[in-house]
C-alpha cells in the first residue's frame, strides 16, 4: 500500500514483463489456481482502465483510503476498493508479482473456496485494523496529519497478511533484502526495511496487514471446522457450476451416439426402444430381430436377450469383419 497523491498511470514497460512472468508460472503448474489469476486480472484491469470499463470504474480520487473521509462520510467504497488501485506501474507490478507467488502457494494448499474466504477476511481485517490504528493515534496522541489524513491505495496490506499466513508454520530462515531472519518474522523485517527505504509507503496499511494475518490465524485456530464464509462460497460455487455440469453431461450423452440407429459398446442390456447385441454390442431397434451390425439373430424375452441363432456368434473375427464391411460398404 502506497501513500501520497495520484500522479497518473505512466507506463514504464513493466506490464509485459509481469504478463510473461505470470504466463510462465501458470504454464508449469499442473493445476492453475483460478482465484489468484482473477485477482491479478482485476488489479491490472483497474490500473489500465480499458474503454469498456472506464464508465463503470470509479476514479482513484473517489477511492483513496483516507481514515478521516471514511469515518466522516461512512464511505465504504474507499474502505473496500482502495486495495485494488495502484499509483503507478512499478507499484502494481511489484504487488502483483508478490501476489502471484503467495497466491499460487496458498490457493494450491487450501483450495479455491477457502482461499477466497481468506482473502475476503484479510482484506476486511487489514483495512479495519488500519482504520482503528489511525483513529487511536488521533485520539490518544493527536496524530492527525501523518496517519489520520493520509491517502493510500494498493494491495500490499493484504499481501502482508498473506505473508504472515504463509510463513506461520515455518521454522526456517529467509532472506529479506539481504537480511537473514526467521521466516515467521519475515513480514516484520520487511515492514521496517520498506519504511526505511520507501518512506512514502503506508506504514499503518502494512502494519494493519500483519496484525490482520495474526488475528486471522488466531480466529482460525479457535474454530475446528470450515469457517462459515468458506461454506457459503463453496455452496455458491457449486450452484454456479450446476448449469455448466448440466450442459457438459448433455454433450457427453450426445457423443455416445454414433448415429441415429444405435451405439456401440457398454453393457449387454435392453435399452428403451432398443436391444443390445451381446455378440458385437451394437444397439438395434426393437423392430429388428437380426443385429444390423453382425447379422446375429436374437429375441427379447421379458427384457432378457436370448440368442436364437449361433452361427454368426461362432464366426471367426475376420469373417465377422468382412460381413460388416459388405453390409455397410
Enzyme catalytic residues: 156, 206
How far is residue 158 from each of residues 95, 205, 220, 289, measured CA to CA in Å? 10, 9, 17, 71
275 alpha-carbon distance from chain centroid: 46
Exposure of 281 by Cβ count < 10 A (0-12 exposed, 13-18 middle, 19+ buried)?
middle
Overall size of the chain counted in residues: 329
CA distance 288 to 118: 62
Q: How many CA atoms lie within 13 A of 161 on its CB side?
A: 31
Cell numbers for 97, please give them: 508479482
In the 8-state DSSP scheme, what is residue 184? G
Q: Concatenated DSSP letters for 56-85?
A: TSPPGGGT-B-HHHHHHHT-HHHHHHGGG-
Amino acid at each position: 500500500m502506497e501513500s501520497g497523491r495520484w500522479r497518473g498511470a505512466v507506463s514504464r514497460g513493466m506490464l509485459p514483463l509481469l504478463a510473461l512472468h505470470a504466463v510462465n508460472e501458470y504454464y508449469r503448474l499442473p493445476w492453475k489456481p483460478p482465484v489468484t489469476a482473477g485477482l491479478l486480472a482485476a488489479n491490472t484491469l483497474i490500473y489500465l482502465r480499458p474503454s469498456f470499463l472506464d464508465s463503470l470504474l470509479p476514479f482513484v480520487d473517489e477511492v483513496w483510503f483516507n481514515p478521516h473521509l471514511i469515518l466522516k462520510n461512512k464511505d465504504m467504497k474507499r474502505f473496500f476498493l482502495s486495495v485494488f488501485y495502484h499509483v503507478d506501474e512499478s507499484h502494481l507490478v511489484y504487488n502483483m508479482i508478490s501476489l502471484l507467488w503467495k497466491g499460487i502457494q496458498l490457493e494450491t494448499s487450501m483450495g479455491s473456496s477457502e482461499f477466497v474466504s481468506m482473502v475476503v477476511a484479510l482484506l476486511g481485517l487489514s483495512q479495519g485494523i488500519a482504520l482503528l490504528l489511525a483513529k487511536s493515534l488521533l485520539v490518544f496522541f493527536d496524530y492527525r496529519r501523518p496517519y489520520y489524513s493520509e491517502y493510500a491505495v494498493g494491495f500490499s496490506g493484504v499481501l502482508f497478511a498473506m505473508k504472515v499466513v504463509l510463513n506461520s508454520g515455518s521454522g526456517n530462515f529467509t532472506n529479506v533484502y539481504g537480511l537473514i531472519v526467521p521466516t515467521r518474522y519475515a513480514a516484520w523485517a520487511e515492514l521496517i526495511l520498506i519504511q526505511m527505504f520507501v518512506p512514502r509507503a503506508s506504514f499503518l496499511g502494512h502494519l494493519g496487514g500483519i496484525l490482520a494475518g495474526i488475528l486471522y490465524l488466531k480466529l482460525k485456530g479457535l474454530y475446528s471446522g470450515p469457517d462459515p464464509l468458506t461454506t457459503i462460497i463453496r455452496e455458491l460455487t457449486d450452484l454456479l457450476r450446476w448449469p455448466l455440469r448440466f450442459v457438459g453431461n448433455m454433450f457427453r450423452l450426445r457423443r455416445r451416439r454414433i448415429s441415429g440407429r444405435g451405439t456401440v459398446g457398454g453393457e449387454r442390456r435392453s435399452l428403451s426402444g432398443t436391444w443390445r447385441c451381446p455378440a458385437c454390442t451394437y444397439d438395434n431397434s426393437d423392430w429388428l430381430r437380426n443385429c444390423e451390425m453382425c447379422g446375429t439373430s436374437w429375441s427379447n424375452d421379458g427384457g432378457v436377450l436370448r440368442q436364437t441363432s449361433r452361427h454368426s456368434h461362432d464366426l471367426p473375427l475376420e469373417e465377422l469383419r468382412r460381413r460388416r464391411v459388405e453390409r455397410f460398404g
